[in-house]
Amino acid sequence: MAATYCRRGAKFWMDEPGNDDNALMGLAREAVDVALAGDIKRGLSMALDARHRARSAGDSHAELAALNATARCHSLRNDSIASLSVGIDAATLAQKLGDRLALAHALCAIANTAFTLQLLEESIDISARAVEDSMLLRDNDLECRARQVYGVILGDLKRFGEAREQLHLALAAAERDGRLSLQYRVQGNLASLSRKEARFHAASGDELRMQAACSAALAAASSLVERAKPQKLYSLEMNMTSLAGEIHGLQGDIDSAVNETRLAIELAARARQPSNIPPAALRLAKLLQSRGELTDALAVLKGGLAAAETLRPTFRIAELCEMIGSIEEQRGDAATASSWQQRAAVERQSFAAERQIAAGYMRKLNAEIAAATGGV
């Protein structure tokens, strides 16, 4: 049964002879490869082009391939609503065509969106299902993707051992797949897991374990930055530079933390990836605040807010507004501080409302999929 699914609609996900006979499916696959290599904007453009041409040709299977490629590109650029919308379209079409492999890829995009919107319960259920499907279908690309999403979510839930196991299995799948960009992406997520462990141990006051996690994260980040530069993997370089800045901040090396976080923001702006700017801006502003550089901190936060505005809905807007208010209060401007705090409250309510709408869509889709597959 798995082989039947793999040969239908989603041929571009497989590395078998003859897959590129269909030019549109080949274009969709290439779009994903380009995006994974760091040029997300061009990858998204290619995926959208493939979708438009498939619809014009009345080719539902090619359209499904293009939808999944588009959802994946949106997911890579952290465009939550676009990824969710296209992911649901892909899942619906995959069910109609009976394409289980394409459906599993759509579920990965949806799970990633749920995670971005802080819907951990929904995201872990959907990603666990995608992992199960990847093993049944024996598809390396899908297994790598599904286990990464699952592992990242487990890490956020502080289930570090389970998260590391999933990410190591994802790395094994990436190695079988053969694409270096995919392998580097998993290694980056393993470095990020060490960062999460470092945060956890720092908060609990376990200095020894914190330093061990910091060392592991920095070693991985440094290695990946060196690999990313010659291959022009801008997204990887940016993420690992940002990670190094955060780790140096945890270790108390404020100067290194400031320099690396500034560079990460510059790399994100240069690569036109605004989703990476708000969290880095928050960290940089806190570092500058600790040095009493309040004017610079405000400028950084407002730059981060401008980037976050393009990513609605995101909880980062409220966080940025709240911190701007805090710094204005520290500067002695109570009226301005109050205005920003009020806006932060409004933004939190707005995000919560969008989050609930998205949660409803995902629960409905999950129920439909379970019903269509007999609850399997």
Q: What is the pLDDT of residues 116-146, one digit of tens each?
A: 888 888 888 889 989 999 999 999 999 999 9
Q: Classify 314 as helix, strand or coil.
A: coil
Q: Residue range 246-273: average pLDDT? A: 94
pLDDT (0 to 100) of residue 340: 98
pLDDT (0 to 100) of residue 11: 33
Biggest CA-to-CA distance, the chain:
68
Convert 48-108 into a string of H (helix), E (strand) and C (coil).
Answer: HHHHHHHHHHCCHHHHHHHHHHHHHHHHHCCCHHHHHHHHHHHHHHHHHHCCHHHHHHHHH
pLDDT (0 to 100) of residue 9: 32
CB 127 within 8 A of CB 108: yes
CB 137 within 8 A of CB 43: no
How is residue 344 written in tokens? 């932060």
- pTM of the entire predicted model: 0.83
DSSP characters over 154-165: HHHTT-HHHHHH
Q: Which residue has the higher pLDDT, 34 or 175?
A: 175
The upper half-sphere exposure of residue 202, i.e. CA atoms within 13 Å in the direction of its Cβ, equals 16
Q: Is the peptide bond before 313 cis (omega within 30 degrees of 0)?
A: yes
Distance CA 208, CA 220 (A): 19
Per residue in 172-193, pLDDT tens?
Answer: 999 999 989 899 999 999 999 9
Q: Classify 311 as helix, strand or coil.
A: coil
Token match 């061990």: residue? Answer: 212
Distance CA 263, CA 267 (A): 6
Instruction: Give the H or E element holding residue 263.
Output: helix 254-270
How is residue 332 written in tokens? 């002695």
Domains in the chain with CATH codes: 287-351 (1.25.40)
Instruction: Locate all alpha helices (DSSP H) within the chain, ordered by sequence.
Output: 2-7, 23-36, 40-57, 60-76, 80-97, 100-116, 120-137, 140-156, 160-177, 180-203, 207-231, 234-250, 254-270, 277-290, 294-309, 316-330, 334-372
Question: Is 60 exceeded by the pLDDT of residue 375?
Answer: no
Instruction: Give the H or E element holding residue 304.
Output: helix 294-309
pLDDT (0 to 100) of residue 357: 84
Per residue in 86-99, pLDDT tens?
Answer: 988 999 999 999 99
Number of neighbouring beta carbons within 10 Å of residue 339: 15
Per residue in 317-361, pLDDT tens?
Answer: 999 999 999 999 999 999 999 999 999 999 999 999 988 888 888
Residues 6+ apart with CB under 8 A from 376: 370
How is residue 281 written in tokens? 């801006």
Distance CA 153, CA 121 (A): 10
How is residue 229 written in tokens? 């530069």
pLDDT (0 to 100) of residue 232: 82
Distance CA 201, CA 195 (A): 10
Q: Classify 374 as helix, strand or coil.
A: coil
Question: Is 70 exceeded by the pLDDT of residue 21?
Answer: no
Buried b (16+ CB within 10 A) or exposed e, 259-293: ebbbbbbebbeebebbbbbbbbbbbbbbbbbeeee
Question: Is 50 exceeded by the pLDDT of residue 17?
Answer: no
pLDDT (0 to 100) of residue 374: 59
Question: Is 70 exceeded by the pLDDT of residue 151?
Answer: yes
